[in-house]
Structure 1
Amino acid sequence: MAGALLTALGASPAQAATQVNQDLPVSTMHYRWVSIPAGATYTWETTDLSVGADSVMHLWDWSTLDEVGYDDDGGAGLASQVSYTNLTGSQKSIVLIVRSYSTGTQGTARLLQNGVTLASSIPVAGRRITVENGAGYEHETVKAPGGAEYPYLLALDSSLHLVDLDYTSGVGYQAKVEHASTQYVVIGTTSGSGNVHLYSNDPTDYDGDGVGYGLEWDLGTCDVASWSHCTGVHNLADTDRDGIPDGAEVFGVDSASSPQHLAAWGADPRHKDVFVELDYSDAFPGQPFTEGDAVAAAAIYAAGDAAAIINPDSMDGVRIHLDVGFDPADPDLATLLGDWGGSGPVPDGTAYGVAPDTYRDPVRAGIFHYGLMSQGSGGGQGWQPGDRFGWGVSMGNRYVRSFAHELGHNLNLAHSGHSSWGNVNGKANYLSLMNYAFPGSSFSQGQSAVVLNPAAVDEQAGIGADASHVGVSPFYRLLGPSDEIDWDFDQEFSPGGWGSVRAPVTYATWSGTNAFTANEQDLHSESDLPATTPSLIRGPGNRLYAFYVDDERIYYRHALHNGNSWAGSCPGGDGLDDDCTTWSAAVEVPTSANARGLTAVYSEGQVLLAFRTQWDSLRTIRATGANATGTLTGWTSEIFHSVWTDKEPEAEFMRVDPAQFGGENLVVALFYRNQADGQYRWRTMANVSSASSTDRGALQTETGATLTGVESPTFTNWPYDPMTSTQGTTCGAITNNGGQVGLYCYDRASNRFENVSSSAFTSGTKPTTVGKPGLAFHAYRSWAGLPRDNDPSRGAFWLTVVVPDPNWDFVDVWISDPVSEAAGEDLQDVYFPVSRRGKVGNVWSNMVDGAGLALYDDPELGAMKGLWLRQDGGDADTPLGAVKLRFLPFADGTFRANLTDGNDFQVMERGICRGLASAAYCGPSSFGLD
């Protein structure tokens, strides 16, 4: 029995007539109310028929839903004549309909009532269609693109008598008739002309989508899985898997105030459709989005190959349909854009995430995405997956690429395309507009075959596709003649295999790709953490120590690292989403004074902290060791250094001239900004165990100029141990009184700080900061985490600054050209190309005003580390939240991941559905890209 049922369900239905009649041209068919006094008999007839016209008359009583009069050729020739006697005892109103006998016998006629001209010329029109019928069949008109507004239907039996009449029961004043005796329907309009679709919908509906078994067969949609074209369809009620049920795409969705004529706007149940309502801030004088913008956007989505998007009609592309509040000048674009009753202005400042709850008609939920344009320059956000997004535009530029990008998020595309392709932004081999760093305006179709791994990259492999975009903004990498790529900026092309290097392959300067924040770990979260720069060091027992201030007390957390291993010194691994290490609970440092800023250094098993107190004095305290679990022990009493500062101090080891430093050649320098006059001054301690410090006065340049500025200074050594090189020294990032950062390197002979800013920064490009700058020397690393060619002196300076912004402050990083002992790469030639400036996180990474990012690197670590205080959020939908102390295990961007390209349209194949519907409704991806 089951087999017989399956066979029956798999068969095509037996039909006398097609159930699908599309794009039928129809015109006005005469319909009028007539009133007959009680006891009177009225006669109506047609005369003066135009050549070829053949009229038929029907009288219809709406009170009884019956035909009360009919005539075909009762008049002269092919004219009609019909009479009605009112026996009701009161005046009676009925409907008179004049139609043509057939579609081919249309024309005009004079209409008489009781021999008197009622209308000198009426249309003799109507399109008669033979239909498939049976009990429960409904024959319904659907508005076609650019079609008739007010059609009505006559249902005729085999004798051509009227058995049903309707003009309002369909979606939005479309017509629908149902009668068991129906053999023909006649379609006309009450006014105007245009095309309509006519569907004969049978009552057998196995998938419950409102479209009958026979109608689905004729449409080519699915009602049962056993049909050959439906074997791979997950949800039979949504044949093309675009999240809009077949019934809605075929008939539309009715609403008393806002009927959705989806078919008229281009819906096709066998092709993936995406409908978008585009609203805009009322700060604009009108709709910013133009017809040309719509055409450009449509072309982006139309490019998908049929094999990737899997449209049941086997045609390429995704079709977008935009409600923009105006009709196109080109009528051929009527299904791309139009005035469909939704688009309009919303109050300026409304968040895109909540706007559709108020400004999109509820009937559109689950059908229309919602895009909101605010004033801006292209930046935006969108739910992934979801049905709403927003982006910034101007009347002069609507940033169509941004529109396509944010809508792409709705369709489940990430900045990486899909998480299985390496879930990070900025992949140079992902050739998609979803990628912040890709300059093109198209979706990827999987062109690049090369896998990039920041922890072990082959610089000679290229990307397996045209790499020209990698040589320009925003990547700015050096390209070789065969598309080799210098990923780590060392001006060399390292081979693969054992020659692979660790490099920030996803760093794309200004585009904010989060290249350096992968696997970021939260160490502490609080709503009111003070704006101080934390400090990160490698301390005793193969541990990292993160120091910070909270409630004017100094705390630290510690965690194990595993040396300069191939895993980036992370015991937990360096793969994407690995927890680099496990951090301890917070431990308070037992200071007697409160703290408002700190710095830390480590040497010979001891940790020295220098901190600014609540009285703005400078003190140091020292831990002489650590126990087996990593807790620092043996804290000494504090040393007061008799200076006053209103900024965080800085401590660093310095190689000095013994003749000028009491026989010492390596000292601990304490740098600070003097509170009274803004001068940068310094003191030195012979070692971390010293009980006092020596005043070295103001920092002076080679010309004797005293350095003054507004932010805390930062210093680092080159190379890591300056004692290993005759050229080894200490360099500092120091601001001037305008917050501009300069680079100054210590000269032992003169005991002054040489200003190398003029060579380090192109004229007019000095970075500006509103927090303590960060500075570290970072040696180029092999895949194993070791300095390349066992040379810890060759690398680059990394400088971080907090960029002032009206809304939120974010951190920029500047990476220098190579620095080494070789001619042309020494400190006198250090250079930070402005093209290599970019964001540590992204534009949503808000720094706490006054706090900077602390960088830490040494040859015992396989990857540079970082520590910062920042807040998430930064737009109207995501207000700034708690301040978080966060550890960056790969501040050099060298996490481990297989970064690949992929076909965006294969993600959209299911993602289009997920933008509107649940995972259960949509089913699994055809390509394993859920």
Structure 2
Amino acid sequence: MLQRIGAKWSRMLCTVATLWVLAVPPAFAEQSSTRTNETTARPAAGWTTGGGTVDGIATPLPEFRLNLTAGRAVTITTSAASTGSDPVLHLLTTRGVQLAVDDNSGGGTNARLSYRPSVTMTVIVALRARTTGTAGTANLLINGAMWRPAVRFGGWQLQVQNLRANETIGTIRLPNGAGPSHIMYVLKADGLGVERWQSGGGVAGATSYRPTVALGTRRLIIAVPSSGKSGPVRFFRNDTGLRAHDPDNDGLGTELETALGTCSNLTSVARNFECNRAADARDTDGDGISDGWEVLGRGDVWPHQALPLWGANPLHKDLFVEVDFMLRAPGETAQRMSPTVARQFASVYQDEIGTTSALIKAYHGAVLVNPDGLAGVAVHMDTGVAPAMPADATLYGDWGGYTAVPPVQASDGSWGGVHPDVSWKTNMAAARRGIFRYALPYSSGGGSVALNSFTWAAGIHGAFTLAHESGHAMGLDHNGPPAPAGVVDANCKPNYPSLMNYAYLDGTVGFADGLNTPVLNNAALREWRAVAPSNTAMLDKLQNAYRYYVDRTAGHVDWNRDGAFAPEGTTVRAYANLRPGTSCEFTRQNAAPLPAAASTQSPAMARLSDRLYVFYSVLGQVRYNYSTSSWNCPVPASTPCGTWNDWTAPGMDAQGGIDVERINGYTRTPQLLVVSIDHEGKLWQARLTRQRIGGFEHETFSTPTLIPNSSPASGAPSLAVMGSCDTYLTYKGTDNIIRYRRFTCTGGWEAEQQALTPGGTAIGTAPFSFPAITRVYLPHRPGEPGIYGAFPNVDGYLEIWWLDRTTGRWVKTNVLESTPWERVEGRAAMAWVPSQNVDPYPGRFYLMYVKHDSTPNRAYRDLEREVRMLQSYTRVTGTPGSLIRKEVVGLSSPFDNVWFYAFGIDLLYEQGVDTNLRMVDSIAINKSNVWATIELRPKADGIQDYNYRNANDWETVRLGVCRNVVNPGGTVSNPITCP
């Protein structure tokens, strides 16, 4: 992108180079140049009006120091001048005052000068070419003796006219250009002697000179020292010192701004750019950085900020970032961002991923309001790493800012990294405020950044994660621009192709532009002709990443994953924005914490009459809350759509755990069966009933009684109701062998049995895992309800077993899509959700569990107990005409995101009552305000009645690139005004 800008300016430069009557536009983003033009070969007509820039090639102008003795004459000559060269000798004081000059007195084109000092002194012997085209090599002799053989000399010469008092002329360092310092000679009116010798005075080794008197027409020589590197250089002529020539106070005169195409006020037109589109005349492109700094660099602070050297362009938005490194423990090795990561990061902002259409790129450039009309934001990062190739010179470099930030020790003795919001204040130079943003990556891990932030952090090796987090700093959320207050948008939207979207965080897309995708609503999804067949990118993503069955020819999408496309004119309900394996977060809406409820064990949930009950264990004792709200939240929001009553403590020991189910048929009144395991491993039971007496509802919790003849149990129990008067209970013994019992109306509790395989082998589980059972439909016995167990094996890996109620044995199924690779902690939760409100089958099976964290020596509160979700679906494979459909349990994903931890969970769905799957959890996130709290997730299936759309990220980036850099921490005086 930047090279294209350079080419554009190059073409314009070639057009006017031979006349050079007006200021020539600069090649702002040009990274290298080997071209010459007529102005470098001979003086041109000159500028009749001041203000402008021109690029050329600076070559060596060697300057040697020589000690002279008072009264002793010295003769300096050149010899053996190379063919076509014409050396000129200057003798200067160390302050640049000319003592002598000669061109051709040495015979032919050789120079010869003599000088007798009146005092002992040190002088400078300078050797330059007479014109740009007469550079070459020559020997230097002193008093006839060889002093410096084969000295290379040159210098780029140009001519200016009408050089006025208080104009500033000088040089600008360019990427891959001449340097690290420049020399500028202002010649006398005769074009031979030196009027002004200027070394430095500009930004980062460049030159700058403001004459106090008018000089008229003068020739200039721009060069590098003999030890420097030849290369491109930019000469500028700035009229800012003239009266009323800088109305916007950006350090650029109006003539120079006219030549550059930048704004000096908000009412004019700069080339084709209407300046009233800028919010601040000092910042034409709206990136928050002053035009003056982008054109000249910033030399009024230390260290100098050489923005042009690093690629700044006042007509195209720039993003400057200092990339330090966060050390998080003593002895950790400091790292730097690699060139590969830097290039990948930049490709996102520079609109180089996915976008190929010239028309679309032009649209992106228009959205960004880049005055040059080009797409993207140019990225420039100080990574502490020198560019690996010339093309990298403006992208990243070692620009003097990199710091490995030491770790800090907390009061408890633990070590950690300094937060970037703290680090920048001491580790980023004050000179960079208003120019650079601040990134503080670390060795590994994800990131967490507040919206509209000056800083961000993430793992240093993840380019697209770093870009994602920087997008948050720009103001982008996981669904695009932040939704209005009170409105909750979706993550993982398949119709939002942006790296801000967790489902697209794979490097295949950059920022979204809001074009060409349909509106979706999980409560009413059209499967027939869901996506335009021409939108191959979206169909590719749906098929390969979201793993949907699609008909690419017609654009059909099997959103509910039942293996068929719902007919035209109908809709289905599904968690359409669930990308398997991804943290899609659309299950958190309307979450409702229970008042004063907390537990470090699995809660249990059941409904009785019009009340939803949640039971849990607090310090080994049962408590419960109830709600009379429906929890059929009509609008997804960050606030609850119902309320809870205060807790009740009925007096029941539940040290090991608790479960509850509604049972029917035992009495005329439905009741809740509550089963707990106490501190001694004994199993207890109680009933909660509600009866209307005298026109009022009365709630009764029976006195707990022991479940007779049970082996000592460990962990939490699990209940499942097969039908009226038919309830099952499972638990594990202290020997980690799974046991189960059945309760019927006529026989009460049947004898305890070990869970045995058909071959008679006892089924065991891991010490940290508990068995769970439910009544459900699974493909093991299609269309037939049964008691199924989620039994982690002895290593803790999930297995699904079916109870053969005829034999009393358990059969291991093969319904899991793949071999589990995560261990289960505690008791899993399961539920069945019918597809329709009439028939119980077909439907969807849900299974959720807490992942076991076996990290050695990790503190109890720091254990990562991630909640995972599986569900049944029909997997369709093969090709059209020979498709294979198989119902499996899979699509393993975080229930919320990978940072949502819980001690335990329970699920509930009651056909005809609930609109969505309900989930209750006890949170295990190590924060004081949420630790062990219990909450209800009323839409745990992710099916929200909400229209979600694509978004145009570039609109937010346009604003964010400016707003969050101009005045970090309120430390910049008179900051740029942003759009």
TM-score (ref. length: structure 1): 0.79
Letter in 1 for 2:232: N
Alignment correspondent of 1:865: 918
Q: Does 1:797 align with 2:845?
A: yes
Q: CA deviation at 1:151?
A: 0.7
Q: Does 1:771 align with 2:800?
A: no
Cα distance change, pair 189–15 in 1 and its aligned pair in 2 (3 A): closer
Which of residues 402, 413, 416 in structure 1 aligns to 2:479? Answer: 416
Which of residues 657, 660, 664 in structure 2 aligns to 1:597? Answer: 657
- Measured in 1, the distance between the counterparts of 2:150 and 2:736 equals 99
1:826-860 Cα distance to aligned partner (Å, 9 max, x none): xxx995344x2222122222334xx3454444430
Counterpart of 1:649 in 2: which secondary structure?
Answer: strand
Contact 2:682 2:706 in 1 (8 A): yes
Q: Does 1:814 align with 2:861?
A: no
Letter in 2 for 1:166: Q
Cα distance change, pair 709–484 in 1 and its aligned pair in 2 (3 A): same
Letter in 2 for 1:197: R
Letter in 2 for 1:194: G
Which of residues 442, 459, 469 in structure 1 aligns to 2:509? Answer: 442
Counterpart of 1:221 in 2: which secondary structure?
Answer: coil
1:651-690 correspondence runs (5 A): 651-655=719-723, 665-675=724-734, 678-682=737-741, 684=743, 686=745
Counterpart of 2:258 in 1: which secondary structure?
Answer: helix
Cα distance change, pair 872–262 in 1 and its aligned pair in 2 (3 A): farther
Cα distance change, pair 342–775 in 1 and its aligned pair in 2 (3 A): same
Cα distance change, pair 676–45 in 1 and its aligned pair in 2 (3 A): closer
Q: Does 1:646 align with 2:729?
A: no
- Measured in 1, the distance between the counterparts of 2:826 and 2:866 equals 10
Q: Does 1:289 align with 2:352?
A: no
Letter in 1 for 2:478: H
Cα distance change, pair 610–127 in 1 and its aligned pair in 2 (3 A): same
Contact 1:865 1:888 in 2 (8 A): yes
Q: Which moved more, 1:276-285 or 1:92-101?
A: 276-285
- Measured in 2, the distance between the counterparts of 1:924 and 1:38 equals 63
Cα distance change, pair 332–717 in 1 and its aligned pair in 2 (3 A): closer
Counterpart of 2:847 in 1: which secondary structure?
Answer: strand
Query: % of aligned pairs identical?
Result: 25
Alignment correspondent of 1:129: 158
Contact 2:613 2:626 in 1 (8 A): yes
Q: CA deviation at 1:770?
A: 1.3
Counterpart of 2:375 in 1: which secondary structure?
Answer: coil
Counterpart of 1:910 in 2: which secondary structure?
Answer: helix
Contact 1:534 1:854 in 2 (8 A): no
- Measured in 2, the distance between the counterparts of 1:719 and 1:119 equals 95
Q: Which moved more, 1:33-42 or 1:502-511?
A: 33-42
Contact 1:112 1:118 in 2 (8 A): yes
- Measured in 2, the distance between the counterparts of 1:277 and 1:151 equals 26
1:463-515 Cα distance to aligned partner (Å, 9 max, x none): 34224435545422222352311212222323576x32221011111122223
Q: Does 1:206 align with 2:247?
A: yes
Alignment correspondent of 2:562: 490
- Measured in 1, the distance between the counterparts of 2:814 and 2:70 equals 107
- Measured in 2, the distance between the counterparts of 1:197 and 1:386 equals 35
- Measured in 2, the distance between the counterparts of 1:336 and 1:246 equals 19
Q: Does 1:91 align with 2:152?
A: no
Q: Does 1:454 align with 2:522?
A: yes
Contact 2:478 2:502 in 1 (8 A): yes
Q: CA deviation at 1:532?
A: 0.4
1:733-752 correspondence runs (5 A): 733-745=790-802, 750=806, 752=808
Which of residues 625, 639, 663 in structure 2 aligns to 1:579? Answer: 639
Letter in 2 for 1:23: D
Q: CA deviation at 1:798?
A: 0.6
Cα distance change, pair 295–737 in 1 and its aligned pair in 2 (3 A): closer
- Measured in 2, the distance between the counterparts of 1:43 and 1:759 equals 99
- Measured in 1, the distance between the counterparts of 2:221 and 2:697 equals 90
Alignment correspondent of 1:909: 958
Counterpart of 1:647 in 2: which secondary structure?
Answer: strand
Cα distance change, pair 47–673 in 1 and its aligned pair in 2 (3 A): closer
- Measured in 2, the distance between the counterparts of 1:335 and 1:311 equals 18
Which of residues 156, 180, 185 in structure 2 aligns to 1:154? Answer: 185
- Measured in 1, the distance between the counterparts of 2:595 and 2:524 equals 32
Q: CA deviation at 1:891?
A: 0.6
- Measured in 2, the distance between the counterparts of 1:763 and 1:172 equals 60
Contact 1:732 1:775 in 2 (8 A): no
Q: Does 1:263 align with 2:308?
A: yes
Letter in 2 for 1:839: P
Which of residues 893, 903, 925 in structure 2 aligns to 1:838? Answer: 893
Which of residues 587, 599, 603 in structure 2 aligns to 1:534? Answer: 603
Counterpart of 2:222 in 1: which secondary structure?
Answer: strand
Alignment correspondent of 1:784: none
Contact 2:285 2:317 in 1 (8 A): yes
Contact 1:857 1:865 in 2 (8 A): no
Q: Does 1:715 align with 2:756?
A: no
Alignment correspondent of 2:278: 233
- Measured in 2, the distance between the counterparts of 1:221 and 1:449 equals 37
Q: CA deviation at 1:533?
A: 0.7
Alignment correspondent of 1:188: 223
- Measured in 2, the distance between the counterparts of 1:244 and 1:220 equals 16
Contact 1:475 1:508 in 2 (8 A): yes
Q: CA deviation at 1:864?
A: 0.8
- Measured in 2, the distance between the counterparts of 1:585 and 1:37 equals 102
Counterpart of 1:812 in 2: which secondary structure?
Answer: strand
Contact 1:490 1:780 in 2 (8 A): no
Q: Which moved more, 1:765-774 or 1:336-345?
A: 336-345
Cα distance change, pair 699–57 in 1 and its aligned pair in 2 (3 A): closer
Contact 1:249 1:263 in 2 (8 A): yes
Alignment correspondent of 1:272: 317
Contact 2:380 2:394 in 1 (8 A): yes
Which of residues 591, 598, 622 in structure 2 aligns to 1:520? Answer: 591
- Measured in 2, the distance between the counterparts of 1:525 and 1:315 equals 57
Contact 2:623 2:650 in 1 (8 A): no
Q: Which moved more, 1:213-222 or 1:46-55?
A: 46-55
TM-score (ref. length: structure 2): 0.76
Q: CA deviation at 1:895?
A: 1.4
User: For structure 2, which runs of at least 5 residues remain unmatched after alignment?
Assistant: 1-21, 25-45, 356-360, 408-414, 664-668, 856-862, 876-884
How many residues end up aligned between the 2 structures? 853
- Measured in 1, the distance between the counterparts of 2:547 and 2:48 equals 68
User: For structure 1, which runs of at least 5 residues remain unmatched after alignment?
Assistant: 1-10, 563-567, 656-664, 782-786, 820-828, 926-930
Cα distance change, pair 800–446 in 1 and its aligned pair in 2 (3 A): same
Alignment correspondent of 1:7: none
Q: Which moved more, 1:286-295 or 1:268-277?
A: 286-295
Q: CA deviation at 1:286?
A: 7.7
Q: Does 1:888 align with 2:949?
A: no
- Measured in 1, the distance between the counterparts of 2:456 and 2:363 equals 28
Q: Does 1:760 align with 2:815?
A: yes
Contact 1:300 1:441 in 2 (8 A): no
Q: CA deviation at 1:423?
A: 3.2
